[in-house]
Amino acid sequence: MIQQFIDRMPKIDLHCHLDGSLSPATIRVLAERVGIDLPDDPKDLTAMLTAPEDCSSLVEYLTRFELPVACLQTAENFYTAALDLASDAASENVIYIEVRFAPLLSAHERLPADVVVRSVIEGLEEGKRRFGVKYGLILCAMRHHPHEMNEQLLPLAEKYLGSGVVALDLAGDEKGYPACKHHQLFADALKRGIPYTIHAGEADGPGSIWSALDLGARRIGHGISAKDDPELMKHCAAKGIGFELCPVSNLQTKAARDWDDYPFRLFLDEGMTVTVNTDNRTVSNTNLTREFTELDARYGLTTAEIERLVRTSAAVSFADDQLKQELNKAFDMFLAEYQSAEN
Catalytic residue among 92, 98, 174, 202: 202
**174 given a catalytic annotation:** no
pLDDT at res. 1: 80
pLDDT at res. 343: 65
Residue-wise pLDDT for 244-302, tens only, equals: 999 999 999 999 999 999 999 999 999 999 999 999 999 999 999 999 999 999 999 99
| List of domains in the chain | 2-342 (3.20.20.140)
Q: Which residues have C-beta within 8 Å of that of residue 252, sequence separation ≥ 6? A: 51, 52, 53, 55, 61, 284
pLDDT at res. 54: 84
Residue-wise pLDDT for 88-122, tens only, equals: 999 999 999 999 999 999 998 889 999 999 999 99
Helix (H) or strand (E) segment spanning residue 331: helix 321-342
Name the stretches of the chain with pLDDT < 70: 343
- Checking 175-182 for CB contacts under 8 A at 24+ apart, the result is 175/203, 175/204, 176/143, 176/144, 177/143, 177/144, 178/143, 178/208, 178/211, 179/143, 179/208, 179/211, 179/212, 179/215, 180/211, 180/214, 180/215, 181/143, 181/147, 182/141, 182/143, 182/147, 182/150, 182/215
pLDDT at res. 59: 77
Q: How far apart are CA 72 and CA 105, in angstroms?
A: 9
Percentage of the chain lying above the pLDDT 90 cut: 92
Which 3 state secondary structure label does DSSP give 136?
A: strand
